[in-house]
Amino acid sequence: MTNSPACNHLTGERILHGMSDDQELVTAVLARTPGAFEQLIARHKALVWHVVFRMVKHPEDARELSQDVFLRVHQRLHQYRFESSLATWIGRVAFSVASRHLQKKKLPLAEPIGDDDGDAFDDIGDGFDLEAACADRETMQHLNAAIESLPPVQRTLVTLYHLDELGIAEIGTITGLPEGTVKNYLFRARQRLRQLLETRLGAFA
Amino acid sequence: MNNNFDHQGRDNDMRLQAEAERAEREGLAPGRDPRVDRYRLIVRALRRPLEPQLSADFDTRVAKLAMQRDGDGFEDVLVSLLLLALGVGALLYVGPSLAHMAQAMVSISLPPLPWHQVVMAAICIGVAWAIDQGWKRTHHDSRPF
């Protein structure tokens, strides 16, 4: 949950290394170099898809919005000032496009953070086999359904953190949320997933 | 008292989550703490690639679309330049005839136009149009994306 120094170091190195690549690619796209924009899309489409699909959930809408994100990126790339990595900037565009889509549909983006800390671990036995649970298709399907049931912003944050391996600061920049809020949402999302997992494991105990 | 208990539970859960993340990162053998292992299972589920994915031709298709839109902009510029050239050409070729016509009209002695007011009205319209365009441009660009 916390950003360990090792993790920060890696993220920082990746950003520094990526900056020169970003600069070359952005310059090539702005100079209308053939294939440059396609390369930009290939490099960042996974992140855009993760943000948009996690936010809107509906695959067809997500595909259309992902396309919209890249068209906006193409249109506004001259405004990119290299103040963050290109991935973070594109992630912000994606988050903004997806948020606006949900707002238009009057769907809530996130659950308010209350004082409720959820339940602590009940006394559980030693009979939990991680590898067996991981290999169990039904358990993983249940967990995927549990991830889908999280509110859009929490769903997106856990994906950016665990799947895209972005740091808390980068996620904060993409979503416009303070770092403390990002950490809190991540903690609560995992806690809620654990509770939903317990329900399933309890049912099969 | 109860609040204190909640905080302890929260701190404990935070520690378990951090341990689960570290254990996954370092590939530690499971089985030491079932509570950590449950969080490790969640971390693994969250690291799985999303289904569905974008289509394989997404990059090519969207890049082509973006270039087409770019092309549309270029075409607009070309059309504007062409219209401007036509305007200048028309003025050059038709201008002298228009001047003759104007002289002829003056000789018919039409009632005199209030030129001062006409020019003022044209300036007002021009300024209003420029302000509107400027506002639209600023308003459009100030949006984050």
Percentage of the residues of chain B whose pLDDT score is greater than 70: 75
B50 contact residues in A (CB cutoff 8 A): 49-50, 53-54, 159, 163
Q: What's the pTM?
A: 0.73
Instruction: Give the list of residues 6+ apart from residue A151 with CB closer than 8 angstroms, or none.
Output: A108, A109, A110, A111
Reading the block at residue A154, the tokens are 């929490």
Distance CA A82, CA A79 (A): 9
Residue B9 is nearest to which of A4, A35, A120, comparing CB atoms? Answer: A120
Please tell me which residue, A134 or A36, carries the higher pLDDT value: A36
pLDDT band at A115 (very low <50, low <70, confident <90, very high): low
Lowest mean pLDDT among A32-36, B34-38, B141-145: B141-145
pLDDT in tens, A130-184: 888 888 889 999 999 999 999 999 999 999 999 999 999 999 999 999 999 999 9
**Which sequence spans correspond to the domains of chain B?**
2-47, 75-109, 111-140
Distance CA A73, CA B87 (A): 36
Q: What is the pLDDT of residue A122?
A: 58
Per-position b or e across A56-90, b if 16+ CB within 10 A of its CB:
beeeebbbebbbbbbebbbeebeebeeebbbbbbb
pLDDT band at B135 (very low <50, low <70, confident <90, very high): low
Q: What is the pLDDT of residue A174?
A: 97
Would you tell me which residues 57-96 of chain B have a C-beta closer than 8 angstroms to some C-beta of chain A? 58-60, 62-63, 65-67, 69-70
Across A6-20, A128-142, B31-45, the highest mean pLDDT is recorded for B31-45
Is B50's CB within 8 Å of A121's CB? no
Q: What is the pLDDT of residue A68?
A: 97
pLDDT band at A205 (very low <50, low <70, confident <90, very high): very low
pLDDT band at B140 (very low <50, low <70, confident <90, very high): very low
pLDDT band at B18 (very low <50, low <70, confident <90, very high): very high
Instruction: Give the list of residues 6+ apart from residue B144 with CB closer than 8 angstroms, or none.
Output: A92, A96
Q: How many CB atoms lie within 10 A of CB A100?
A: 13
Q: What is the pLDDT of residue A1?
A: 42
Distance CA A90, CA A92 (A): 5
Which residue of A39, A130, A148 to mutate against B (max B Cβ within 10 Å)?
A130
Would you tell me which residues 132-161 of chain A have a C-beta closer than 8 angstroms to some C-beta of chain B? 133-134, 139-140, 143-144, 147, 158-159, 161
State whether residue A127 sits within 8 Å of chain B by CB: yes
Closest alpha carbon to B69 in A111, A37, A5, A160: A37
Q: What is the pLDDT of residue B72?
A: 61
Reading the block at residue A55, the tokens are 């936010």
pLDDT band at A29 (very low <50, low <70, confident <90, very high): very high
Q: How many CB atoms lie within 10 A of CB B45?
A: 22
pLDDT in tens, A39-59: 999 999 999 999 999 999 999
Q: Which domains does chain A have, with CATH numbers?
A: 5-203 (1.20.140.160)
Please give the average per-residue pLDDT across A110-124, as a whole number: 61
Q: What is the pLDDT of residue A118?
A: 56
pLDDT at A5 over 50: no
Q: How far is A140 from chain B (nearest CA, A)?
A: 7
pLDDT in tens, A69-102: 999 999 999 999 999 999 999 999 999 999 999 9
Q: What is the pLDDT of residue B129?
A: 86
